[in-house]
Structure 1
Amino acid sequence: MELLSQLINIVDQNPDSILVMRQQTEQRLPLHQHDKAQLLLVYGGIAYLQTEEKDFYIPSNHYIWIPENYPHNLMFNSQDLFIINIYFPGEKENGFYDELGIYPVSKLLSEMLSFSEKWQGDYHKGSFEFEFLSILKKLLSKENLKKFSIQLPTTDDQRLNTITDSLRMRLHENLSLESTAKLFGMSVRSLTRLFQRKLHITFIQYIKMLRIIRAMELIKTTDLNMTEIAYEVGYSNISAFSNNFLQLTNMRPSEFKISS
């Protein structure tokens, strides 16, 4: 809790400044929030942002915009993950800046970040750095990029968490609603209702997202080819794997490999 208090004090001690932090200071901290909005950029791996309602997956070369006073915590596993945090003064803004969202880092944004790669610390109004970063922020809403859409709903239902933990460990198997219900001594109807009531998602949709998330991790952390990865996460058809990957991430697996 002391580390969390220190972080919040550092972020919010100068309400009108823009703060740049390149250390991975928010990793594994409890759910927290700050008065400043946050631009969190991820390079070299996959980060996981947990909120009260969902788990968000942020692949390499993507950023997440976190509105001011939005409870969250960050997790990641990759040793080579590099994160940039830019905290902006809280402002009453509508639309883009009011919503949490994950987007790809565009070529223009990448060039602006490269220009400012040595900046760290607080920058105040009137300084060149402050004005530059303010323009960077305004750019985000003007690019009209498509959101990255993999969001896993969460629940405090212990029985359902036991089921989903089991599913994560058996993605290579032929998972079905019927076999899962039988394994946990439930009827198909009861398991269907449990997913819909607690997670607001179907069993099939949940499995599809789990498989694509696991595929992203394997693309980043292994030398397996796409066919091997497809089989590893439960697809016998490489075309179906590629189409589902595209549907959830807005890119083909091969494109994701290049971007990561």
Structure 2
Amino acid sequence: MEILKELNRIIDQYQDSILVVRQQTEQKLPAHQHDKGQLLLVFGGIAYLQTYEKDFYIPSSHYIWIPARYPHNLMYNTQDLNIINIYFPPGDQQDFYDNLGIYPVSKLLSEMLSYSEKWQGNFFSGDWEYEFLTTLKNLLPRENLKRFSIQLPTTDDSRLGDITGDIRKRISEPITLEGIASQSGMSVRSMTRLFKTRLGISFVQYLKMLRIIRAMELIKDTDLSMSEIAYEIGYSNISAFSNTFQQLTNMRPTEFRTMSSK
């Protein structure tokens, strides 16, 4: 808790400043919030943002906007993760800044970040860096980029927690609603209702997203071929795997591998 207090003190120490923090590590902290909006950019690794309602997957070369006073916790599972956090004072009127969202880093945003790659610490109105970072922030809603859509809802339902935990362990196996329901001593109808009422999505949607998240981890962390990765996550048809991957991420698996290797 002392680390958490120190983190919040640093972020909110100067109410009107823009704070840049690089390679910040939040994976051991409980959920926290701060008075500033947070632009969190991920490069060279895999990050997960955990909230009370959902777990968000943030792939390399993407960013997430976290509204002010939004409880969250960042986790990661790779050694080469590189993140940049930019904390902005509140006061924006656009809806974009009131909603959590994940987006790809555009070429223009990438060039602006490259220009400011050595900046760190607090910057105040009147500083050149402050004006530059404000322009960077104002750019975000104007790019009209499509949101990255992979997000796994969470639940405190112990039955569903056991079920989803088992699915994660058996991700490479053929998994069906009927099979999971039977194994759990439930009817298909009851299982379907449990996912809908507790998670807000269907069993099939949950399984798809879980498999694609695992595929992204394998693409990033291994040299397995796409056919091998498809098999590892339970797909017997690489075309079906590729189509589902594109449906959820707006890119083909090969595109994601190229992006992750930069």
The CA deviation at 1:160 is: 0.4
Q: How does 1:5-24 map to 2 (within 5 A)?
A: 5-24=5-24
When structure 1 is superposed on structure 2, of 73-82 and 89-98 the one drifting more is: 89-98
Secondary structure at the aligned position of 2:70 is classed as: coil
When structure 1 is superposed on structure 2, of 93-102 and 20-29 the one drifting more is: 20-29
Counterpart CA distance in 2 for 1:170 and 1:226 is 19
The CA deviation at 1:23 is: 2.8
8 Å Cα contact 1:7/1:25 also seen in 2 = no
Specify the code of the residue in structure 1 equivalent to 2:141.
Answer: S
Superposed CA offset, 1:63-85 (max 9, x none): 00001001110000100000000
The CA deviation at 1:219 is: 0.1
The CA deviation at 1:152 is: 0.5
Q: How does 1:47-58 map to 2 (within 5 A)?
A: 47-58=47-58
Q: Identify the residue that residue 223 of structure 2 maps to in structure 1.
A: 223
Number of residues of Structure 1 aligned to a counterpart in Structure 2: 260
Q: Identify the residue that residue 87 of structure 2 maps to in structure 1.
A: 87
Secondary structure at the aligned position of 1:38 is classed as: strand
Q: Identify the residue that residue 124 of structure 1 maps to in structure 2.
A: 124
Secondary structure at the aligned position of 1:108 is classed as: helix
Counterpart CA distance in 1 for 2:239 and 2:254 is 12
1:74 aligns to 2:103 (yes or no): no
| Unpaired runs of at least 5, structure 2 | none
Specify the code of the residue in structure 2 equivalent to 1:156.
Answer: D
Counterpart CA distance in 2 for 1:25 and 1:244 is 32
Counterpart CA distance in 1 for 2:148 and 2:246 is 11
**Identity of paired residues, percent?**
71
8 Å Cα contact 1:152/1:209 also seen in 2 = yes
The CA deviation at 1:92 is: 3.9
Q: Identify the residue that residue 109 of structure 1 maps to in structure 2.
A: 109
Computed over aligned residues only, the root mean square deviation of the Cα atoms, in angstroms, reads: 0.8
4+ runs of 1 displaced by more than 4 Å? none
1:63 aligns to 2:63 (yes or no): yes
TM-score under structure 2 length normalisation = 0.98
Q: Identify the residue that residue 145 of structure 2 maps to in structure 1.
A: 145
Specify the code of the residue in structure 1 equivalent to 2:214.
Answer: R
8 Å Cα contact 1:45/1:81 also seen in 2 = yes
Secondary structure at the aligned position of 1:196 is classed as: helix
| Unpaired runs of at least 5, structure 1 | none
Counterpart CA distance in 1 for 2:109 and 2:85 is 14
Specify the code of the residue in structure 2 equivalent to 1:89.
Answer: P
Q: Identify the residue that residue 239 of structure 2 maps to in structure 1.
A: 239
1:100 aligns to 2:103 (yes or no): no
Counterpart CA distance in 2 for 1:23 and 1:178 is 44
Secondary structure at the aligned position of 1:122 is classed as: strand
The CA deviation at 1:29 is: 1.1
The CA deviation at 1:240 is: 0.4
The CA deviation at 1:93 is: 1.9
Counterpart CA distance in 2 for 1:186 and 1:111 is 53
Counterpart CA distance in 2 for 1:43 and 1:87 is 17
Counterpart CA distance in 2 for 1:246 and 1:92 is 33
Secondary structure at the aligned position of 1:39 is classed as: strand
Superposed CA offset, 1:120-154 (max 9, x none): 00000000000000000001111111100001010
Secondary structure at the aligned position of 1:189 is classed as: helix
